[in-house]
């Protein structure tokens, strides 16, 4: 019987793993830990491997996987920037991802958080916490329907976010994507450049994958072209944003505030329990402490539907490789 090692497992994953394994007559072993140099030997004897890896894998680990006969790593996320794909290919390891596990969940979260920043949610909650129930100009906001929204990246997630803003709230929506989607043109006006898309927008929401070519895509220069008082949303990847440049733009008044579900130095932190640890990330602490920023731990996807799809699609890809030698979800 086929045996699969499944690592970085969380409690909410288990019921879906059990159901999938029963339906596919597969044996499995669970680990709550990521794959490391220290625990690589636990993988020996298994046919397949599924990870939710947030830390890089060394060449030594890839070499051992090949020696164990492992042909694939099924990553349970859309992002696969943790992996050195050239190194994986060197050792004949197929890396797959789950490109679309619940785009609606992420899009809905992005829209909700954008609205929360526009409507001064943190400031209102802070006033409530000290029993200050006054209506006053500091928490006065604009109606969402009056705002212009720029959606950067109109793949599965960005397209849904654009549709929600346009058809749900009646916003004017512009977008930038190197590969425009004709189906979106019913409610989106594409702009030829990123800069032209963000200029004049009241909300800028980011939905593009991270690559080695777009590190700090949003930097001091790009933020300087934001409309004064605009809101910025990143539910994509932390590496796309120069955090210090964002903070400077907020401090200067160029940007009103931001909703961030990712952070450029989140690796090893999101998700983890740091309550009993000495917390030394002062930049992240700034983001947490500020009233004009809402930050969450890469949780936009986190719904029942997404968790199930991540498990099922990743494990399906593992079986596909074992049965056919490849998978339609491979990224290298």
pLDDT digits (tens, 9 = 90+) for 177-205: 999 999 999 999 999 999 999 999 999 99
Question: What integer pLDDT is reported at residue 19 of this predicted model?
Answer: 98
Q: How far apart, in Å, do the first and last CA atoms of the chain sit? A: 28
CA-closest candidate to residue 50, choices 28, 22, 83: 28
pLDDT surpasses 90 at 77:
yes
What value does the mean pLDDT take over residues 286-299? 98
Active site residues: 237, 266, 298
Domains defined for the chain, CATH in brackets: 3-101+304-324 (3.40.50.720), 103-295 (3.40.50.720)
CA-closest candidate to residue 229, choices 286, 284, 292: 292
Residue 58: which pLDDT band, with cuts at 50, 70 and 90? Answer: very high
Instruction: Report CA 257 to chain centroid distance, whole Å.
Output: 19
Give the Cα separation of 185 and 30 in Å (integer): 45
Locate tokens 């590496």: which residue?
239
The strand pair at 27-30 and 3-6 is best described as parallel
pLDDT in tens, 244-266: 999 999 999 999 999 999 999 99
Question: What integer pLDDT is reported at residue 212 of this predicted model?
Answer: 86
Question: What integer pLDDT is reported at residue 81 of this predicted model?
Answer: 86
The strand pair at 230-234 and 203-206 is best described as parallel
E strand residue ranges, 135-220: 148-152, 172-176, 189-190, 203-206
CA-closest candidate to residue 310, choices 157, 102, 106: 102
Residue 25: which pLDDT band, with cuts at 50, 70 and 90? Answer: very high
What value does the mean pLDDT take over residues 134-149? 97
* pLDDT mean across residues, the chain: 97
What value does the mean pLDDT take over residues 111-138? 98
pLDDT surpasses 90 at 79:
no
Give the Cα separation of 177 and 162 in Å (integer): 12
Question: What integer pLDDT is reported at residue 140 of this predicted model?
Answer: 97
Give the Cα separation of 332 and 313 in Å (integer): 17
Give the Cα separation of 91 and 94 in Å (integer): 9
Two tokens at 266?
């989140």
Question: What integer pLDDT is reported at residue 311 of this predicted model?
Answer: 98
What value does the mean pLDDT take over residues 171-177? 98
pLDDT surpasses 90 at 268:
no
């Amino acid at each position: 019987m086929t045996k699969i090692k499944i690592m970085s497992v969380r409690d909410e994953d288990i019921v879906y793993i059990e159901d999938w394994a029963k339906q596919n007559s597969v044996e499995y072993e669970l680990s709550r830990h990521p794959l490391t140099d220290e625990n690589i030997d636990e993988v020996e004897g298994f046919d397949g491997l599924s990870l939710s890896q947030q830390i890089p894998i060394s060449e030594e680990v890839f070499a051992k996987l090949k020696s164990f006969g492992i042909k694939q790593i099924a990553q349970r996320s859309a992002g696969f920037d943790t992996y050195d794909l050239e190194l994986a290919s060197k050792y004949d390891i197929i890396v797959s991802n789950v490109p679309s596990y619940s785009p609606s969940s992420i899009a809905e979260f992005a829209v909700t958080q954008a609205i929360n920043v526009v409507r001064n949610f943190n400031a209102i909650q802070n006033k409530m916490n000290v029993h200050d129930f006054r209506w006053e100009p500091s928490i006065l906001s604009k109606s969402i329907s009056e705002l212009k929204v720029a959606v950067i990246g109109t793949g599965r997630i960005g397209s849904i976010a654009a549709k929600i803003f346009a058809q749900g709230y009646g916003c004017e929506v512009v977008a930038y994507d190197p590969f425009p989607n004709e189906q979106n043109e019913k409610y989106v006006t594409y702009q030829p450049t990123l800069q032209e898309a963000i200029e004049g927008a009241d909300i800028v929401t980011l939905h593009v994958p991270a690559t080695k070519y777009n590190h700090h895509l949003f930097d001091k220069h790009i933020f300087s072209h934001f409309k004064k008082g605009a809101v910025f949303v990143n539910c994509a990847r932390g590496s796309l944003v120069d955090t210090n440049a964002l903070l400077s733009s907020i401090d200067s008044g160029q940007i009103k505030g931001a909703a961030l579900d990712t952070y450029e130095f989140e690796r090893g932190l999101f998700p983890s329990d740091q309550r009993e640890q000495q917390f030394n990330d002062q930049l992240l602490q700034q983001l947490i402490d500020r009233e004009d920023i809402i930050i969450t731990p890469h949780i936009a996807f986190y719904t029942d539907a997404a968790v199930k799809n991540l498990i099922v699609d990743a494990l399906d890809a593992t079986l596909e490789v074992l049965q056919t030698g490849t998978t339609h979800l491979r990224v290298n």
